[in-house]
Structure 1
């Protein structure tokens, strides 16, 4: 049995990355607010920024020794609410309802236990590629 060529395997890998990630380029906040030491590899050696973004991943070559193509932070309802959990500054109290949190002008995400669910937003003008 003849094995497929390396080029065919590389193309199939790129197509599968694109399909899995949906091919939507992440926002600047989803990428720049990620602590470099927390980056999870999302590409392959030699991937270009175009290939990385087409896969729905972030690309940043400024920090040596960490993945340059990496998984973005999760999307939020507002870009001001995109941040790592450790960056959350509490804006409420345990069990605060979504409505009360929003009335305070804060972000709400109750998917992770033991962290603030109601937290202060961060201005988006500090996000950059």
Structure 2
């Protein structure tokens, strides 16, 4: 192997390590609040929990027939606000502002149409890996 190939290999190794260091294990609520039949595969056959978490995905091998390494729910400002859209319980009215929603001590997310944008939070006590 020539000096250029060795430098290229070293650079690729450094980039790979940087990518692994930047990825982090998702919060428990972003993983445990996904229904097993709603999981989007994020890994490959035989992936380990450590490999899955290193890529920023969730891992749970307790249920057969569904992906064990899967995409987490979207990150929210508060963990209490992390939930599947189908679990949102309306806490406002059409056109409510984020400020009015917050004054009701509720969560606000207007990323998806046709669902409540202002919704009640859920306790994080049930969130676990």
TM-score normalised per structure 2: 0.84
| 2:77 matched residue in structure 1 | 77
Aligned equivalent of 1:93: 93
Separation in 2, partners of 1:63, 1:94: 38
What residue ranges of structure 2 are gaps of 5+ in the alignment?
A: 1-11
**Cα deviation, residue 114, structure 1:** 0.5
Give the aligned partner of residue 62 of structure 2.
62
State the secondary structure of the residue aligned to 1:29. Answer: helix
Rg larger for: 2
Secondary structure, aligned partner of 1:72 = coil
- In the alignment, structure 1 residue 112 sits paired with structure 2 residue 107: no
Aligned to 2:33: 33
Distance 2:19 2:66 in 1: 25
Paired residues, number: 114
Normalized against structure 1, the TM-score is what? 0.84
Shift of 1:89: 0.3
User: How big is the alpha-carbon RMSD for the aligned residues of Structure 1 and Structure 2?
Assistant: 1.8
Partner of 1:80, secondary structure, is: helix
State whether structure 2 residue 40 is matched by structure 1 residue 24: no
- Following TM superposition, the consecutive aligned residue runs of length 4 or more in structure 1 with deviations greater than 6 angstroms are none
Q: Distance in 1 between matches of 2:69 and 2:86?
A: 22
Separation in 2 of the partners of 1:58 and 1:114? 27
Inter-partner Cα distance in structure 2 for 1:122 and 1:45: 33
User: Distance between the aligned counterparts of 1:95 and 1:125, measured in 2?
Assistant: 31
Q: Please give the alpha-carbon distance, in whole angstroms, between the structure 1 residues aligned to 2:115 and 2:23.
A: 31
1:7 counterpart residue number = none
Give the Cα separation in 1 of the matches to 2:68 and 2:58: 8
- Encode CA deviations 1:11-55: one digit per residue, 9 max, x unaligned: x9xx87x949x4111000000000111100000110000000000
